[in-house]
Homo-oligomer: A and B are copies of this chain.
Amino acid sequence: MSHSLDPYDRKLLMLLQENNRTSQRDLADAVNLSPSAVNRRIAALEASGVICGNVSVVDPAAVGRPITVIVEVQLADERLDLLEEVTQRFVNCPQVQQVYYVTGDFDFLLVMSVSEMTEYERLTRELFFMPGNIRTFKTYVTMRRFKQGLKVPIDV
């Protein structure tokens, strides 16, 4: 695989995490490289998977999904095949934005984006009450999202 990222790559990643619409010319100016050097580096970062996506961020409220719900899920049985089945159910649900499998008092933490609590209620039936393997779940409704991003800190 590709070896350690040099300071140029890191700076580019920082900038692209802020705004990936910045033109390669401006990026070039910012890091003191030529546009084509920037072009090659970005291509390499994408090919190697360091950059694993390029997306627009949509304001949930603007598309009718103002409610973010956080759910702690506790499994009944951690057998591998059952775990797989549950995971798929979570991942395939479009309202589920994030699925973390964690150590501690519960097993999964979900972040969900819903339009109203009735929608969430309906989803709980599909996701948690369905067949089996889920012992309990705990719901937390967010009153406010103070920060929500995927930005990873990158040391220079």
A interface residues, Cβ below 8 angstroms from B: 5, 10, 13, 16-21, 48-60, 62-65, 68, 70, 87, 90-91, 94-106, 109, 111, 113, 138-155
Contact = CB atoms under 8 A, between A and B. Distances in A.
A144 B52 contact: no
B140 A55 contact: no
* This chain: copies in complex: 2
A90 B147 CA distance: 9
B100 A146 contact: yes
A26 to B, nearest CB: 14
Given A63-B50, A98-B149, A103 B58 contact: no
Given A5-B63, A10-B63, A142-B102, A97 B58 contact: no
23 contacts: A10-B63, A20-B56, A21-B54, A49-B59, A50-B59, A51-B57, A52-B59, A57-B150, A65-B152, A65-B153, A70-B100, A91-B146, A94-B153, A97-B151, A98-B148, A99-B146, A99-B148, A100-B140, A104-B138, A104-B139, A105-B140, A109-B142, A148-B150
